[in-house]
């Protein structure tokens, strides 16, 4: 079920406001670093270590989304807290996927890391039952550290569709004529380095190149930064889908390209909250093509 452009933009704005409120919620916590559930390690999908801030922010966002009649939520899935479903047709009601604190280790060590990013991320889909990445219609990412916020929504006009992306309420205008090649010496690329396989692949891809390959430790933040050109690209072999839905919408709305390591589009694929997939994002089609070539060479 395709909803109106007005509804999609309204959802993105409501998410914008809720994430700001979540920031105030996090600021009031004096003991957010307390570990409440021990898992394998930070970043592991099925057995992640959860701290109090994860739960408190997650509960706040879950309850706020469910309690807002304008969001019309049928299902809310929060990392670490699981599913909350309303007794409605899951093929018709929107599904909201929430990562309440992406970059938990950065949050825990924020007084000793000069403020590495820790973010909240929400992806909104048209439906929960049988959803694909084409069902992503609104998203927002909020950096608790800086207060920067990105939002995107899908606009439709008859059979035509486009995505709009903003950062701090400023519209990002895609530059379709930009054919500047990727240059690690003058551009930043974010590459996930938590998992050994991805770290080793990145080392092969950029072997012998001087430049700015970085890993700030919050994938939602890193993907959002591609949309407004802070970074030229993002590469991850094990990207969680609930964050990827938001990152994809933000980057596509800014004129960028998002594919897997084989160059296949992410859009149209089944959307599964718990699945991890490889992804290459480029700020422009040319930069994406250059990064994809490096990844393909390193992944062989």
Tell me, yes or no, whether 155 and 206 share the same domain: no
Tell me, yes or no, whether 284 and 145 share the same domain: no
Tell me, yes or no, whether 202 and 89 share the same domain: no
- Of the three residues 171, 199, 225, the one that is the final residue of a domain is 171
Tell me, yes or no, whether 145 and 260 share the same domain: no
Task: List pLDDT tens digits, range 85-125.
Answer: 888 888 889 999 999 999 988 998 887 556 789 999 999 99
- Of the three residues 137, 171, 205, the one that is the final residue of a domain is 171
Supply the CATH number for residue 28's domain. 3.30.540.10
**Which residues have C-beta within 8 Å of that of residue 238, sequence separation ≥ 6?**
192, 195, 197, 198, 276, 277, 278
pLDDT over 50 (residue 45): no
CA–CA dist 84, 292 (Å, integer): 38
Total length of the chain: 300
- Of the three residues 171, 205, 231, the one that is the final residue of a domain is 171
- Lookup result for tokens 């149209």: 268
Q: What percent of the chain has pLDDT over 70?
A: 93
In a domain, 234, yes or no: yes
Tell me, yes or no, whether 136 and 167 share the same domain: yes
pLDDT over 80 (residue 43): no
Tell me, yes or no, whether 125 and 245 share the same domain: no
Tell me, yes or no, whether 226 and 107 share the same domain: no
pTM here is 0.93
Tell me, yes or no, whether 204 and 287 share the same domain: yes
Please report which confidence band the pLDDT of residue 185 belongs to, taking 50, 70 and 90 as the band edges.
Answer: very high
In a domain, 55, yes or no: yes
CA–CA dist 61, 84 (Å, integer): 12
Q: Domain range spanning residue 22?
A: 5-171
- Report the pLDDT value the prediction gives residue 47, as an integer from 0 to 100: 54
- Lookup result for tokens 């089944």: 270
Vertex 173 angle, CA 163 and 241, to 5°: 40
């Amino acid at each position: 079920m395709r909803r109106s452009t007005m509804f999609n933009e309204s959802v993105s704005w409501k998410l914008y406001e809720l994430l700001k409120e979540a920031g105030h919620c996090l600021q009031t916590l004096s003991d957010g670093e307390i570990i409440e559930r021990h898992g394998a390690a930070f970043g592991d999908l099925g057995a992640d270590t959860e701290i109090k801030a994860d739960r408190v922010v997650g509960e706040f966002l879950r309850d706020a989304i469910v309690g807002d009649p304008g969001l019309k939520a049928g299902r809310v899935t929060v990392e670490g807290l699981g599913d909350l479903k309303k007794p409605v047709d899951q093929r018709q009601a929107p599904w909201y996927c929430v990562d309440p604190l992406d970059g938990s280790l950065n949050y825990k060590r924020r007084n000793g890391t000069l403020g590495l990013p820790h973010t909240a991320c929400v992806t909104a889909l048209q439906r929960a039952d049988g959803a694909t990445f084409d069902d992503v219609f609104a998203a927002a990412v909020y950096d608790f550290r800086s207060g920067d916020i990105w939002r995107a929504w899908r606009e439709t006009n008859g059979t035509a569709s486009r995505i709009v992306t903003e950062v701090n309420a400023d519209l990002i205008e895609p530059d379709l004529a930009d054919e500047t090649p990727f240059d690690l010496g003058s551009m930043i690329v974010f590459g996930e380095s938590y998992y050994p396989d991805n770290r080793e692949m990145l080392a092969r891809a950029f072997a012998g190149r001087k430049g700015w390959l970085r890993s700030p430790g919050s994938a939602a933040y890193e993907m959002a930064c591609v949309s407004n050109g802070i970074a030229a690209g993002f590469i991850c072999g094990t990207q969680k889908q609930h964050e990827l839905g938001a990152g994809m919408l933000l980057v596509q709305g800014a004129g960028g390209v998002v594919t897997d390591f084989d160059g296949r589009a992410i859009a149209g694929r089944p959307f599964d909250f718990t699945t991890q997939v490889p992804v290459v994002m480029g700020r422009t089609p040319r930069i994406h093509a250059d990064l994809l070539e490096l990844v393909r060479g390193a992944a062989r």
